[in-house]
Amino acid sequence: MTDTAVPRVPIFSLTELKRGADQEAFRECVTEVGVFYLTDCGVREQDHRLATDTAMDFFEHGTPQEKKAVTTNIPTMRRGYSALEAESTAQVTRTGTYTDYSMSFSMGVGGNLFPSQRFEEVWTDYFAGLYTAARETAKVVLEATGTYDGSDGRDIDTLLDCDPVLRLRYFPEVPEHRVAEHEPRRMAPHYDLSIVTLIHQTPCANGFVSLQAEIGGELVDLPHVPEAVIVLCGAIAPLVTQGAVPAPRHHVRSPGADRREGSGRTSSVFFLRPSTDFSFSVPKARAYGLEVDTLDGETATFGDWIGTNYVTMHATTTS
């Protein structure tokens, strides 16, 4: 069975948006929904496939010693390999202690850990293409509202010269104790700590749609769409648009026992994150509905915010 679900969120062409087309519909989407599909972003299906296949080969054939060699011991960084169930988004969001049922490989601008030169070459090229696509996407998103707040002296181009992270997540078929009847989610509901996030996913072989976003109080499926990426506006978007752009919560759900076989999938996720010294108003963040309880004072930096989350994510779970 193939993924035949029809998406309920709009599909836009980045090429057309940059030409000034569909502006009213796009403005309405980014201010009311904060999630959409994007085509023509400059990264080809074969680019996604090559990077995904390279990571999957390592996940499946890398030795324990090779995986340990590219597992970072710095708890505030996402770099290299992260083993199955090594993280818990639920702990960060304080919604439980269950683990993320996935493994991943991550890279950024620097400080990377690669298992081979070939892996490094493939992923470096892929990262560069996604970085360009993400910056161009963020620019049309932020310009669409007319409310960009550059009061700290950062124009949009300066904001977008930032500290992105690329993660390839592999969600294997869940074991029987992680089917929906026992644990509804593979990853807890959350919004991304990014300006925008680009997601390229492969469909589950059995047609199950795992990724969902909360839109208007309803959980909406985000199925695989050929030749497209999903764009989710992250928590930095409301901070720099005076609350005009929401950061939609999303989660990865578990299949039921009858859909367990054939439910594995991959998700290539590019987080366009600001630099760690990006400063924001904590009271305004609260007013925009963001969870900043761990931050003290009137202002904080992105580094303060993201570092706390990473440490919590990797804490030992009790489930």
Active site residues: 78
How many whole angstroms separate alpha carbon 112 and alpha carbon 110?
5
How many whole angstroms separate alpha carbon 179 and alpha carbon 176?
6
Whether 223 contacts 209, CB under 8 Å:
yes
How many whole angstroms separate alpha carbon 24 and alpha carbon 2?
34
For 201-212, give one letter per residue: b (16+ CB within 10 A) or e: bbbbebbbbbbb
CA distances from 218 to 37, 213, 235, 243 (A): 18, 8, 19, 21
SS3 of residue 134 by DSSP: helix
How many whole angstroms separate alpha carbon 280 and alpha carbon 300?
6
CA distances from 318 to 99, 153, 162, 315 (A): 9, 45, 35, 10
* CA atoms in the 13 A half-sphere facing the CB of 127: 19
**Nearest CA-CA partner of 202 in 184, 229, 181:** 229
* CA atoms in the 13 A half-sphere facing the CB of 246: 17
Angle at 290 between CA 131 and CA 309, to 5 degrees: 65
Which residues have a Cβ under 8 Å from the Cβ of 42 and sit 6 or more positions away?
Answer: 14, 129, 132, 133, 136
